[in-house]
Amino acid sequence: MTDEEMKSYRGLKKSLVYRSHFKRGETEPQLPKPPSEALRASLPTDVDWRKSGIITNVKNQGQCGSCWAFGATEGIESMWAQYSKKLTVLSEQNILDCTPNPHHCGGTGGCGGATYELAYDKVKEIGLATEQAYPYISGSGRNYPCKTNVPYFANITGYVNLAANQQDPTLDALANVGPLVVSVEAIHWMGYRSGVFDGCNQKNPDLDHAVQLVGYGTDSKYGDFWLIRNSWGSSWGESGYIRIKRETTPRCGIDLHPEDGNGCDDGPPTITVCGTCGILYDNVYPVYKP
């Protein structure tokens, strides 16, 4: 496939990611702070939330730019499983159909792309149905109207945005809270089969995909890695997962075109993103406090 064709397999609207940071009153995110040796000594050497029974099977978004809805749904599935002690497959289509793009930053939401912050704001308002009650049908790239006559199963009361470009809060949250939803540059992932990947454009990463970060560890041959669940089906990568390089001191790069393809004119002209494939820029987890 061409790069243009592959855009439909991603679907993160970067302008909205940036907007979520500026909405919280943040200026340019800081470069990574030196690692806290005390914190890292207190953390486990490896984390894999698949072993805890709170990760559903790998899914496939198809030719719809719905990664943002998949990442958001997967985050809620894991959080709700921790809360309810039961793992339930939830509905990406519910989020895809019912989450508008109020800022009109290019696209129309749905298969046209959005962010998990928008999804979480909407779920907080209306709840989220199960996959069985509201199945995924947009794999061909078609959008559908929102169904309002379905029973809602799960909910959130909010979500936490970790400090941008900071590795220690990401490690701490992964070890002590649960999986995270993150934004990455994934255009170079298509040929990945196995191993620890380090093939992104670290000088000028271009965030374009939302995924679930489910752990970290160390490979005896390839070194430290982040463990990521993708939404391109279980036949891709390592049974639907990819391990990407994790550094003690993360590299940073400049996203030169945050405005590309989205029509927003109130965002920054460039943005600093850190970590392999920009993984540390926009990390989020949902919360539910009854």
CA distance 120 to 71: 10
CA distance 49 to 211: 14
Q: Among the listed ranges 23-27, 69-73, 213-217, 239-243, which one has the minimum average pLDDT value?
A: 23-27
CA distance 120 to 140: 24
Q: Considering 64, 94, 98, 209, which one is annotated as catalytic?
A: 209
CA distance 27 to 40: 27
pLDDT of the residue at 27 = 53
Q: Which amino acid is at 6?
A: M
Confidence band, pLDDT 50/70/90 cuts, at residue 70: very high
Q: Please report, rounded to a whole number, the percentage of residues in the chain having pLDDT higher than 70.
A: 83
pLDDT of the residue at 47 = 98
User: Is residue 64 flagged as an active site residue?
Assistant: no
Q: Considering 101, 165, 230, 262, which one is annotated as catalytic?
A: 230
CA distance 261 to 8: 13
Confidence band, pLDDT 50/70/90 cuts, at residue 264: very low
Determine the length of the chain: 290
User: Is residue 209 flagged as an active site residue?
Assistant: yes
User: Is residue 230 flagged as an active site residue?
Assistant: yes
Q: Please report, rounded to a whole number, the percentage of residues in the chain having pLDDT higher than 90.
A: 70
Confidence band, pLDDT 50/70/90 cuts, at residue 85: very high
Residue from 214, 242, 249 nearest 78 by CA: 214
pLDDT of the residue at 44 = 96
Using the predicted structure, report yes or no on whether residue 181 has a pLDDT greater than 70: yes
H/E element, 159 = strand 158-161
Over the chain, what is the mean pLDDT?
87
Using the predicted structure, report yes or no on whether residue 16 has a pLDDT greater than 90: no
Residue from 114, 246, 136, 123 nearest 183 by CA: 114
In terms of pLDDT, which residue wins out, 146 or 114? Answer: 146
pLDDT of the residue at 43 = 95
Q: Look at the domain 3-287 and name its fold.
A: Cathepsin B; Chain A (3.90.70)
Domain boundaries, the chain: 3-287
Cβ-proximal residues to 217 (8 Å cutoff; 6+ apart), any chain = 45, 46, 47, 48, 224, 225, 227, 243
Cβ atoms 187, 3 nearer than 8 A: yes
Q: Considering 21, 64, 67, 277, which one is annotated as catalytic?
A: 67
pLDDT of the residue at 103 = 64
